[in-house]
């Protein structure tokens, strides 16, 4: 928390460093003779730190020169301002530049220049300045590394979002084609009803029968044409198979069982005829969930539950595996199931089951489709 606050308020950090530098540098110089020369040099070295972020190299030159002058005149210096400036150069500049500038500054400030008694102090200054440079350079490298990681994460997130959008668009197109198939189913029902109406009309039965037969023929022709066009769009060729529904759920389960997965079916409520689109989508949800279980979950058992409510249908598929996907909808299979349910204003969840395994739940509001 403190580090984050300091990073958001760099000027406060700069002023705090200046205050520390003034207290240690100006205060020390003021206790020696020739204060009229020493104090201005110390003030220059300290106040230059206020612009260290904008001009790190210039500030290092100023603080190094002022510190060296104080040391040359009095044989004493406080390396704090120059150390902060050296840290800033290592933190802000490329390594080649900071190495060159740092080597020059360390040589100027750490060399005793004939003061043989200053060798221990020179060694301590050498270690201190070197440590300041190493810390600054390490922070720069870490900051660049974190920035690279964030950039890579953002790129991956954009790619993932684009892939998810592409998968969703493809799935929506496939769902749209299947909805067209549902319309074709409704047309076929109309044909059957028109054919059955022959038994209703008693007056002029022959003409009524001819008209109904004409409707039946026209309907069949339209249905055949619709099937042909859908075959072109879907790339299925001339063949055509009716779309599955929950009536064929036993066949699906038997097929999955033959692959080695034990599947149990539970039906609650009174089964009734559903709108064709919801019937197809519910079947597809079960099919996709069981397919994911077979491919990814390494499960031994799955349970399929259908709950017929007065105003809706609940579909739940659970397994005892390690997880057939993730609940955020990142997989194309989960995207497809989510899109199917969303078409009818329902709700969809998928994720790890608290009791173990993976759970897929779809809620279809049947009234919305009637």
| pLDDT tens sequence across 172-228 | 676 666 656 556 555 654 565 566 566 556 666 776 677 676 666 656 665 655 565
The two tokens of residue 179 are: 């909805």
Q: CA-CA distances (angstroms) from residue 281 to 149, 192, 269, 358, 368?
A: 41, 24, 19, 20, 14
Select from 108, 97, 74, 102 the least CA-distant residue to 86.
102
Q: Quick one: pLDDT at residue 264?
A: 94
Sheet holding 262-268, edge to edge: 262-268, 301-309, 312-319, 358-364, 347-352
The listed range with the strongest mean pLDDT (29-43, 172-186, 313-327, 342-356) is 342-356
Instruction: Give the integer Cα–Cα distance in Å for 33 and 31.
Output: 7
| Global confidence as pTM | 0.46
Mean pLDDT of the chain: 77
Q: What percent of the chain has pLDDT over 70?
A: 68
Q: Quick one: pLDDT at residue 121?
A: 63
The two tokens of residue 114 are: 């004939």
Which range (12-26, 130-144, 344-358) has the least confidence? Answer: 12-26
Compute φ and ψ for 247, nearest 5 degrees: -65, -25
Helix pair 276-292, 249-257: axis angle to 10 deg: 10
**Residue 352: left if φ>0, alpha if ψ -120 to 50, beta else—which one?**
beta
- CA quadruple 364, 366, 367, 370: dihedral sign: positive
Helices (H), 197-275: 205-234, 249-257
The two tokens of residue 37 are: 């020369």
Query: How confident is residue 346, by pLDDT bands cut at 50, 70 and 90?
Result: very high
Kindly report, residue by residue over 104-144, the tens digit of the pLDDT: 888 887 765 545 455 666 677 778 888 888 988 888 888 88
Kindly report, residue by residue over 281-313, the tens digit of the pLDDT: 899 899 889 888 887 778 889 999 999 998 999
Q: Which domains are present in the chain? A: 2-110 (no CATH), 246-369 (3.30.565.10)
Query: How confident is residue 347, by pLDDT bands cut at 50, 70 and 90?
Result: very high
* Displacement of CA 295 from its chain's centroid (Å): 24
Q: Quick one: pLDDT at residue 45?
A: 81
Q: Any idea what DSSP says for residue 117?
A: G
Tell me the mean pLDDT in the region 79-89. 86
């Amino acid at each position: 928390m403190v580090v984050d606050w300091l990073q958001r308020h760099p000027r406060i950090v700069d002023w705090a460093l200046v205050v520390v530098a003034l207290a240690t540098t100006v205060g020390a110089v003021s206790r020696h003779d020739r204060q009229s020369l020493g104090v201005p040099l110390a003030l220059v070295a300290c106040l230059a730190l206020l612009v260290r972020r904008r001009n790190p190299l210039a500030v290092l030159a100023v603080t190094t020169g002022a510190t060296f002058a104080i040391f040359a005149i009095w044989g004493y210096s406080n390396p704090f301002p120059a150390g902060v400036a050296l840290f800033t150069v290592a933190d802000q500049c490329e390594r080649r530049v900071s190495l060159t500038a740092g080597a020059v500054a360390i040589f100027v400030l750490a060399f005793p220049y004939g003061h043989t008694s200053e060798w221990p102090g020179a060694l301590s200054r050498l270690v201190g300045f070197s440590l300041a440079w190493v810390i600054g350079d390490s922070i720069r490298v870490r900051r660049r590394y974190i920035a690279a990681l964030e950039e890579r994460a953002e790129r991956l997130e954009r790619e993932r979002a684009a892939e998810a959008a592409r998968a969703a668009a493809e799935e929506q197109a496939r769902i749209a084609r299947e909805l067209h198939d549902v319309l074709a189913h409704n047309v076929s029902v109309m044909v059957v009803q028109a054919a059955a109406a022959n038994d209703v009309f008693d007056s002029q039965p022959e003409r009524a029968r001819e008209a109904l037969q004409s409707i039946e023929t026209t309907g069949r022709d339209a249905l055949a044409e619709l099937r042909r066009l859908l075959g072109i769009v879907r790339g299925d060729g001339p063949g055509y198979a009716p779309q599955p529904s929950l009536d064929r759920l036993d066949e699906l389960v038997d097929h999955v069982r033959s692959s080695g997965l034990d599947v149990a079916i539970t039906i609650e409520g009174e089964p009734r005829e559903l709108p064709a689109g919801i019937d197809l989508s519910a079947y597809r949800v079960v099919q996709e969930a069981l397919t994911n279980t077979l491919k990814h979950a390494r499960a031994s058992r799955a349970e399929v539950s259908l709950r017929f409510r007065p105003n809706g249908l609940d579909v739940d598929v659970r397994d005892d595996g390690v997880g057939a996907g993730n609940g955020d909808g990142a997989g194309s299979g989960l995207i497809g199931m989510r899109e199917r349910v969303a078409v009818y204003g329902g709700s969809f969840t998928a994720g790890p089951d608290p009791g173990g395994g993976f759970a897929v739940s779809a809620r279809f509001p049947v009234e919305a489709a009637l």
